[in-house]
Amino acid sequence: MSFLDSLFAKKETSVLGVDIGSSSLKVVQLRKEGGQAVLETYGELALGPYGGGEVGQATNLSPEQITESLKDLLREAKVTATSSGVSIPYARSLLSLVELPYRKDAKEQKTVVELEARKYIPVPMNEVQLDWFIVPKVGPSEQEKEQATVDVLIVAVHNDELALLQSVVTGAGLTASFYEIEIFSTIRAVVDEPVKPVMVLDIGAASTKVYVVEHGVVALSHAISAGSQDITRAIAVSSGVSLSRAEAVKKEEGLGGPEQGDLELVFSRIFSEARRVLMQYETAHNKSISSIVLTGGGGVTKSLGAYAKKTFSIDVRVADPFIKTQAPAFMRPVLEEIGPEFAVAVGLALRKLDEI
């Protein structure tokens, strides 16, 4: 390519968010227009059938199988963008919130964090990529200057996981400028409260992740060993239908259908654990959670929002990440319905758009 070719080369304006989950792949393609994020296309592909299972089941596919399924999804969704941001599963990462000595000098603080991180990461430091964030304290600026300690969120991802994701992305003909733990993508897409604590209930296929977000930073994370595939199984067993049919029933009828009792058993387990985490946080920090956001594959269960509002005594809403994008009005009902499943992919694409 000559200098003039590169000078007048058309800059890519469309970007892609790629969410590689345990039970499905999701992609969202956005472009920037007049400072707004415009939705161009999106798609989801169940991974169960690629591993000899059914729709809605968590899988453990090889990198080659994931690559093939991603190529299939890109083709089916008519994706044209190749520049992307890609999710890292929460289960494949390590997050620790620790209290460390406060240093005014940024370099000294970095040294303190990196030395202390060794105590919380169970593998050699040269085997992981390390990042960290200081959780803002609320209070007078003078008081902050005199603080002796600081809360730090330490984040680590194993190099092997990053290598696997890179091989999948390259094999599918994409490029990725960043890999982001799904929790941060979700926050960007569904949490708008800038100050007060918000709880995010991310109901994935194999497990449910509970996050408390304060000042846009993760103040607490907790995993519950029950997820949307347990909900699907409950419907399949009680109705005597296949898992793939049960997955459809979950979305079409949900808590308003004849299997309501079976679904409530699964959700009551998830919600009671989430309520315990909520109360524990409120007691320890002497502050109230302002609202709860439901997201993830289980978040698309019909009537779940109404059921959750009865369970929790605070404001509960079902995530609608597509509200942050421009799309035709006729698509809004569908996008609102599927939104919880696409929170991570939308969050990735929104970050990628900021690079343009």
Query: Which of residues 353 and 147 earns the better pLDDT score?
Result: 353
CB 310 within 8 A of CB 291: no
Q: Quick one: 153 and 192 in the same domain?
A: no
Average pLDDT over residues 241-268: 79
Give the pLDDT of residue 3: 46
Give the pLDDT of residue 1: 47
Domain boundary among 116, 136, 157: 157
pLDDT exceeds 60 at position 102 = yes
User: For residues 56 and 144, what is the distance between their CA atoms, to the nearest angstrom?
Assistant: 48
Average pLDDT over residues 334-338: 94
Q: Quick one: 323 and 345 in the same domain?
A: yes
User: For residues 341 and 295, what is the distance between their CA atoms, to the nearest angstrom?
Assistant: 7
Q: Quick one: 16 and 67 in the same domain?
A: yes
Give the pLDDT of residue 139: 53
pLDDT exceeds 60 at position 284 = yes
pLDDT exceeds 70 at position 259 = no
Range of the domain at 101: 93-157
CB 56 within 8 A of CB 246: yes
Q: Quick one: 143 and 219 in the same domain?
A: no
**DSSP H or E run through 67:** helix 63-76
* Strand, coil or helix: 162: helix
* pLDDT-wise least confident of 85-89, 115-119, 235-239: 235-239
Q: Quick one: 82 and 112 in the same domain?
A: no
Domain boundary among 108, 138, 157: 157
Q: Quick one: 149 and 164 in the same domain?
A: no
CATH number where 120 lies: 3.30.1490.300
Give the pLDDT of residue 145: 53
User: For residues 280 and 174, what is the distance between their CA atoms, to the nearest angstrom?
Assistant: 43
pLDDT exceeds 80 at position 149 = yes
User: For residues 40 and 22, what is the distance between their CA atoms, to the nearest angstrom?
Assistant: 25
Q: Quick one: 44 and 33 in the same domain?
A: yes
Query: Which of residues 258 and 218 earns the better pLDDT score?
Result: 218
Using 50, 70 and 90 to split pLDDT, how confident is the model at 249? confident
* Tokens encoding 294: 């439901």
Domain boundary among 113, 141, 157: 157
Domain count, the chain: 2
Q: Quick one: 169 and 267 in the same domain?
A: yes
CB 300 within 8 A of CB 342: no
- Percent of the chain at pLDDT > 90 equals 56
How many residues make up the chain in this entry? 356
The tens digit of pLDDT for each residue in 15-72 reads 999 999 988 999 999 999 988 999 999 999 999 888 888 787 888 899 999 999 999 9
Count Cα neighbours of 80 within 13 Å in the Cβ-side half-sphere. Answer: 8
Average pLDDT over residues 129-135: 88
* Sequence-distant (≥ 6) Cβ neighbours of residue 73 within 8 angstroms: 25, 27, 43, 44, 45, 79
User: For residues 292 and 325, what is the distance between their CA atoms, to the nearest angstrom?
Assistant: 22
pLDDT exceeds 60 at position 236 = yes
For the chain, what is the mean pLDDT?
Answer: 89
Single out the residue of 56, 255, 77, 98 nearest to residue 172, CA to CA: 77
Using 50, 70 and 90 to split pLDDT, how confident is the model at 13? confident
Beta strands per DSSP E along the chain: 14-20, 24-33, 36-46, 83-88, 93-101, 128-134, 149-158, 175-181, 198-203, 208-214, 217-224, 291-295, 315-318
Q: Quick one: 173 and 290 in the same domain?
A: yes
Q: Quick one: 51 and 199 in the same domain?
A: yes
Give the pLDDT of residue 286: 93
Average pLDDT over residues 129-156: 75
Q: Quick one: 304 and 212 in the same domain?
A: yes
CATH number where 204 lies: 3.30.420.40
Q: Quick one: 275 and 129 in the same domain?
A: no
Average pLDDT over residues 340-355: 96
Report the b/e string of 317-355 with b at 16+ CB within 10 A.
Answer: ebbbbbebbebeeeeeeebeebbbbbbbbbbbbbbbbee
